[in-house]
Amino acid sequence: MSTITESRPAAPGGLLSGVGRSTRAELLRLRKWPAVWITLGAWLALSLMFGYLFNYLSYASGDNSFSNEGATKASLLAEMMPANVPDVLLQGMPMFGGALMMVLGAIVAGNGYGWGTWKTVFSLGAYRSGVIVGSLAALTVFVVATLAVSLGFDLGLSLIIATTESQDVVMPSLGSVLESLGVGFLVLEMWAVVGFALGTIARGPALSVGLGLVWALVVENLLRGVGQLLDWVDTLTAVLPGTAAGSLVGSVVGVEPGGDGTPGVLDTVAGPQAAITTACYILVAAAIALVVVRRRDVA
């Protein structure tokens, strides 16, 4: 099979124009793709259950559930108020939100191969870099949209609860909202781009999704457990993507003593270090996707 190179005549307008066209095309694909809406719906359902539903049922019945054992009714109610929305927005992102974004990133890239879309576009002479950057840009737009929808969703639920329970409505400060959005973007974007890189390496959605989920939900947790016994493993876990994401969120929402808090929220490394590590993973994963697609035969 012959390798299609960047030197082949490309579509008019150059690389930047190609990025723009690719971004618009990918946004159209994402908007009309049921998998995208299922992913967003699954995340909102998880946010509803673990952020509000379980807490409200425990508050209303006086029977603490597994997710809030030992909490008082006053503390449960305070966690569901609008002022606490920035923390609720972040709590499920290291594990649940990150896993869903990684799945989405993997299928976006994997189906580019599986459906033959990228092969056709590259055969027509499009810049490979422009196609990949445009696809990553569209994925980033979806991450930002997910954050915005999640914020509005959580805020709406908290206002309903505050009104139902006749509580004073105290809105979160602008600074806390912006901080949570920034942290949430880094976490979700990292997992989405890592999934995208896996999709380009595996050239299909199934293997990339499987590898990503096994790593995020199983391997990293096992390594953190072993790290309590072996110093060199503990050092390694400090730079893993899940540790960075969990520690970044933990630096904002806090971590309960004894490790009985929200799954995936950690205090392993300091917040600034976790933010730098997360940003590095975004850049490295995007670079890997670009290099793999430019260097490898996609025919």
Task: Give the model confidence (pLDDT) of 229-283 as tens digits.
Answer: 777 777 888 888 989 999 999 999 887 765 556 777 888 889 899 999 999 999 9
- What's the confidence (pLDDT) of residue 293? 85
- What's the confidence (pLDDT) of residue 140? 94
Amino acid 239 reads V
DSSP, collapsed to helix, strand or coil, labels residue 106 as helix
- What's the confidence (pLDDT) of residue 58? 85
Q: How confident is the model at residue 70 (pLDDT cuts 50, 70, 90)?
A: low
Rounded to whole angstroms, how far apart are CA atoms 187 and 114? 27
76: left (phi over 0), alpha (psi -120 to 50) or beta: alpha
- What's the confidence (pLDDT) of residue 72? 79
Q: How confident is the model at residue 3 (pLDDT cuts 50, 70, 90)?
A: very low
Rounded to whole angstroms, how far apart are CA atoms 256 and 177? 22
**Residue whose pair of structure tokens reads 């095309």 in the numeric block:** 25
Residue 122, pLDDT > 80, answer no
pLDDT over 70, % of the chain: 87
- What's the confidence (pLDDT) of residue 125? 60
Q: How is the chain split into domains, by residue range? A: 25-295
